[in-house]
Structure 1
Amino acid sequence: MVSIRDISSKCGLSVSTVSKALNGYSYVKEETRRKVIETAKELGYVPNASARALKTNRTFTLGILFADDQHNGLTHLYFSHVLNSFKSEAEERGYNITFIHKRYGKQTITLLQNCKFRGIEGVCIACVEPDEPEVQELAGSDVPVVSIDYIFPGCGCVLSDNRNDMSELVRYVHSKGHKKIAFVHGTDSYVTQQRINGYVDTMRGLGLEIKREYMLESLYANPHTAKKATEKLLRMEDRPTCILLPDDVSAFGAIEAIREAGLKVPEDISITGYDGVVYSQLIYPRLATIRQDTGRIGREAAKLLIFNIKHAQNPNLVPIVIKGELLAEQSVGFAR
């Protein structure tokens, strides 16, 4: 079996330096750390987790709390990519990943108890109901927490630039001559509020009328509820010329409603999505959308959480905001 001494000999570094690089010590140079990790992979080194835990009194385990309201789990087209990049970054830095929940065997325990029992050093909170008492308890505990697209007091966070990205989307649609722009938004959340603010502020800034009947609610990542909302908009006497959907998956439901009404996208009505999932660019017409940088969001969340674990007395609580990219595609045409 390959040992740390083998890596030390191959790299020309001391055993102590190799050990610290593998264990994620912050004062090891990045170039040295990468050299050690690459050599370890090349030699097939597998660390003994039990021995490391005994030696360092640490588990090097990060928890992920993730439960979307549609129960998509790891099939979620957006968050699955975010969590995958989080996992890759954390593992590269020597950490293990586990999902936390309220059960231990047949027992029901709190989220915080789960973390304490399993020795979880820090938690990434993504896509949960933030007002749940157990989530609040975890966020307010001594366990370092980094949230995605939500701000908990005293915790680090990584945010998509939802407000400004939505503003850019509205301005793009307006540049195509659209003035009657409807917004089917998601259910109430921090993300939804930021997008509504971006929509409302930009519409006002462009001198466009904001009609209450043009603003409907739909579940995120749910084509069925998005289809129902779209059908309602299409039945209006003064129907919109463009509909903004809460996400790309929901846009599939809108397309179905439009086609069943005997209309075409974008000849008769334009639509946009949000998130930039891969399937949005494989359909015809390709979906105009905001592509969120899921890779960077996940990586930054992992790096921030590990930093705050190592600097528990002086954590970084400044929100990291990551801008999306406008994909000006075929589903938005010129307004008639």
Structure 2
Amino acid sequence: MVTDKSDKTPMYRYIMNDIKRKIENGELKAHDPLPTQIDLAKAYHTSEITSRRALSDLVQEGIVYRIRGKGSFIQETGASDSPKPIRTIFFVHQLSDIGAFNHPFFTDMFDGLKSVCEKNGIAFHIWDIGEHYVLPPDPYAGIVLLTTKDSFDQSHLGLWQQEKRRIVTVHFYYPHLGIPYVIVDNLTGGYLATQHLLSLGHRRIGVILTGSSILELNQEFSLRLQGYRLALSQRQIPFDAELVAIMSGENEQAGMGSAGFRQLMALSDPPTAIFATSDLKAIGALNAAMEMGVQVPEEVSVMGYDDVQISGYAYPPLSTINQNTFKMGERAAQILLFELADGENRLLKDEIVPYLVARQSTGPVRGADRPE
């Protein structure tokens, strides 16, 4: 294709206008396929970033629709009244301690968001709404919202919906408001951790949780405990409350894992494996084991959760659960860009499955209870 572009119109906009012209004069009809972004880039002598941007904006304007794995197609009707396309996605938060963003839960999620944004020519930024709940000034921006479990004023969500803000929440969710959300499946995470230990022949498995009591756990730890119990029940192993160590504290600390490990190992019939529901607690458990002269994994296996970078350098390297938040970031951006193109609030949800990272802190149980 020869392009005749003599004005200062951005190339992605030129491609969009050319496709609209072809629709108007009948060259392209409803449900006709469009070239791939690679083929478009070649046809218009431009980059793939530019062709991705053109296709993404056409989707946002309701002129093109996408079918995953098949391509892009012309909509039945144009959408001149459709909202403007998303040009920027903001990760919006209200955290006072932004140092928490160094945790892989966030860094991996940011990478997933950025990956989708870069592929579609979309800018990505982080935005703090502060105590006055001030959203980014661009009313057409996509918003990936992280609320806080206690202090967030939900009334603002209703106001933002009235303003037709394009919002997807992550980690916390409000299905009664019809806001799309993406979360990590913590129940499956707890199940995978426990199942890994069961597969190694362990039957007496302790668990270290954070909370005030077994009835006062936050959503994440409660679901991880449910996954632990589900894995045990599938092997007909009764739940034993004696094997549950509850550590109080606002933030995860290695000392909590150390205290929990000592509590469990002091039982008359101690566990042969321990599932600490965060890597920091698991590393504390490893420290306590070393101080007590308990060999890991020969005498007791230790399992973590989070896959923080230091877990791979622990001694021995820590088996853990990666929450797969890169995928969570990807899905949040994809929902904003491709599944809410009509600008309406619709309840969509996606639950991301974490995965096991097996290292040297877990091993077969000693004695008769060998892996099946």
Query: Deviation per CA, 1:141-192, whole angstroms, max 9, x where unpaired?
Result: 3123222233312121222232223223212211222122111134533322
Question: 1:239: how far off?
Answer: 2.2
1:99 counterpart = 2:126:
yes
> Which secondary structure does the structure 2 equivalent of 1:287 belong to?
coil
CA displacement, residues 27-60 of structure 1 (integer Å, 9 cap, x when unaligned): 99582389559935889xxxxxxxxxxxx96773
Check 1:133–1:322 CA distance in 2 against 1; reply closer, same or farther (3 A cut): closer
Percentage identity across paired residues of the two chains? 22
TM-superposed deviation, 1:18:
8.6
1:223 to 250, 254, 257: 254
Matched, 1:147 2:166: no
Of the three residues 320, 327, 330, the one matched with 1:296 is: 327
Residue equivalent to 1:202? 231
Per the alignment, residue 332 of structure 1 pairs with 362
Q: Alignment partner of 1:100: what SS? A: strand
| Residue 46 (structure 2) aligns with | 39
Cα offset, 1:290, TM superposition: 2.1
TM-score, with normalisation over the residues of structure 2? 0.69
Contact preservation (8 Å) 2:172, 2:183: yes
Q: CA–CA distance in 2 between the matches of 1:177 and 1:186?
A: 26
Structure 2 counterparts to residues 167-246 of structure 1, below 5 A: 167-187=191-211, 188-218=217-247, 221-246=252-277
Q: CA deviation at 1:131?
A: 4.4
Deviation at 1:295, TM superposition (A): 2.3
Aligned residues: 307
Partner of 1:124: 144
Contact 1:184 1:245 in 2 (8 A): yes
Aligned-residue offset at 1:270: 0.8
| Residue identity in the other structure for 1:326 | L
Paired residues of 1:156 and 1:305 also in contact (CA < 8 A): no
* Cα distance in 2, alignment partners of residues 68 and 251 from structure 1: 25
Tell me: CA distance 1:221–1:299, structure 2 relative to 1, closer, same or farther (3 Å): farther
1:78 and 2:105 matched: yes
Q: 1:39 is aligned with what amino acid? A: T
Please say if residues 94 and 129 of structure 2, whose CA atoms lie closer than 8 Å, have aligned partners that are also in contact.
no
> Quick check: which one's helix share is greater?
1
Letter in 1 for 2:363: G
Shift of 1:301: 1.1
Amino acid at match of 2:157: L
> How far does residue 68 in structure 1 lie from its aligned partner after superposition?
6.5
1:47 corresponds to: none
Indicate yes or no: 2:287 matched with 1:256.
Answer: yes
* Coordinate RMSD, CA, aligned: 3.8
**1:90 corresponds to which of 106, 114, 117:** 117
Distance 1:63 1:42, change over 3 A: closer
Contact 1:64 1:99 in 2 (8 A): yes
Tell me how far apart the structure 2 counterparts of residues 296 and 194 of structure 1 sit (CA, whole Å): 20
Q: Secondary structure at the match of 1:335?
A: coil
2: CA distance, partners of 1:71 / 1:216:
30
Q: Alpha-carbon deviations, 1:91-119, whole Å to 9, x = none?
A: 4323333333344xxxx52x2xx116453
